[in-house]
Amino acid sequence: MHNNLQVLSLIQITALLTLSVGVTFFSVVGDLIESMLKRNCGIKDTGTMLPGHGGVLDRVDGLVAATPLFVLTMMLVFDSEFQVSL
């Protein structure tokens, strides 16, 4: 067993719950925006790599919208563990 589990404070738990709602929201919004752009351009599929699935963009549009929010919030909540050094 690993003994490196961290006890979360109430603020961290609240931030993570808020994060889950925010990521879900941005994922759905990303999917809707991508669908709206396709509809406005008259395109049914964004590619042919995944026939019948609308293309690769249809598979990752929610991730593209939600990932930045997830990463930034995780960096704020667990700031000591997610330091980015360039």
Read off the pLDDT of residues 62-84 as tens digits, 9 standing for 90 and up. Answer: 778 788 888 887 777 776 554 54
Kindly give the parts of the chain with pLDDT less than 50: 1, 82, 84, 86
Of the candidates 25, 21, 19, 27, the one whose C-alpha atom is nearest the C-alpha of residue 72 is 19
The residue assigned the tokens 């667990």 is 78
Q: Residue 70: is it exposed, middle or buried by C-beta count within 10 angstroms (0-12/13-18/19+)?
A: middle
The span from the first CA to the last CA of the chain, in angstroms, equals 33
The one-letter code for the residue type at 33 is I
pLDDT of residue 86: 47
pTM to 2 decimal places: 0.61
Q: Where are the domains positioned within the chain?
A: 25-75
